[in-house]
């Protein structure tokens, strides 16, 4: 479980689930748990990941996005659908306008979904903690770390 029963959802507000200074992992939906697991994998390598649950896309918590870009200098988004028009797109637009940093996008690339068990589909499309960690390593390399 990620949240206890007392957690309150606020439209347009990201939830900081894990502080970090090296890279920010921003996730939505079922990918939040995968981002937390990726942060644990990366912690074992000495990489300090901030994890944000971007609970709503519209309105976007631009303040949290820009703070993450400014403070960690690298962002990976993770979502369980096409990357075009989703979390990665709205975050990239905000970042490009005000605080450009290296970014990577974990999600479905230009393909339509097939049917199957959700856990197997996540693996099939590379929506895993390992792929999020790989993307984080890539943005960190571009950041110069």
Each residue's pLDDT tens digit, 7-35: 677 789 999 999 999 999 999 999 999 99
86 compared with 114, residue with greater pLDDT: 86
Query: Residue 89 is part of a domain; what is its CATH number?
Result: 3.40.50.920
Mean pLDDT of 55-59: 89
Residue 142 lies in a domain: no
User: Measured between alpha carbons, how far is 20 from 56 in angstroms, rounded to an integer?
Assistant: 21
Q: How many domains does the chain have?
A: 1
What is residue 25's DSSP assignment? E
Residue 66 lies in a domain: yes
Each residue's pLDDT tens digit, 93-109: 999 999 999 999 999 88
Looking at the predicted structure, is the pLDDT value of residue 71 above 90?
Answer: yes
Looking at the predicted structure, is the pLDDT value of residue 66 above 80?
Answer: yes
User: Measured between alpha carbons, how far is 37 from 106 in angstroms, rounded to an integer?
Assistant: 14
The answer to whether the beta carbons of residues 95 and 69 sit under 8 Å apart is yes
Residue 5 lies in a domain: no
Residue 77 lies in a domain: yes
Residue 61 lies in a domain: yes
Note down the domain range covering 43: 15-108+116-136
Residue 49 lies in a domain: yes
Looking at the predicted structure, is the pLDDT value of residue 1 above 70?
Answer: no
Q: pLDDT at position 82, please?
A: 82
Q: pLDDT at position 104, please?
A: 97
Looking at the predicted structure, is the pLDDT value of residue 4 above 80?
Answer: no
Percent of the chain with pLDDT over 90: 70
Other Cβ atoms closer than 10 A to 113: 12
How high is the mean pLDDT of the chain?
91
Tell me the Cα Rg of the chain.
14
Q: pLDDT at position 62, please?
A: 95
Percent of the chain with pLDDT over 70: 96
Residue 1 lies in a domain: no
Residue 84 lies in a domain: yes
């Amino acid at each position: 479980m990620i949240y206890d029963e007392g957690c309150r959802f606020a439209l347009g507000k990201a939830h900081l689930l894990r502080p970090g200074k090296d890279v920010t992992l921003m996730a939505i939906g079922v990918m939040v748990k995968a981002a937390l697991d990726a942060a644990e994998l990366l912690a074992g390598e000495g990489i300090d990941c901030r994890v944000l649950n971007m609970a709503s896309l519209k309105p976007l918590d631009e303040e949290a996005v820009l703070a993450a870009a400014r403070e960690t200098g690298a962002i990976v988004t993770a979502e369980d659908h096409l990357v075009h028009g989703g979390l990665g797109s709205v975050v990239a637009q905000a970042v490009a306008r005000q605080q450009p940093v290296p970014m990577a996008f974990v999600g479905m690339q230009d393909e339509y979904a097939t049917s199957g068990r959700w856990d197997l589909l996540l693996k099939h499309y590379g929506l895993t903690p390992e792929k999020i960690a790989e993307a984080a390593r890539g943005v960190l390399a571009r950041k110069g770390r």
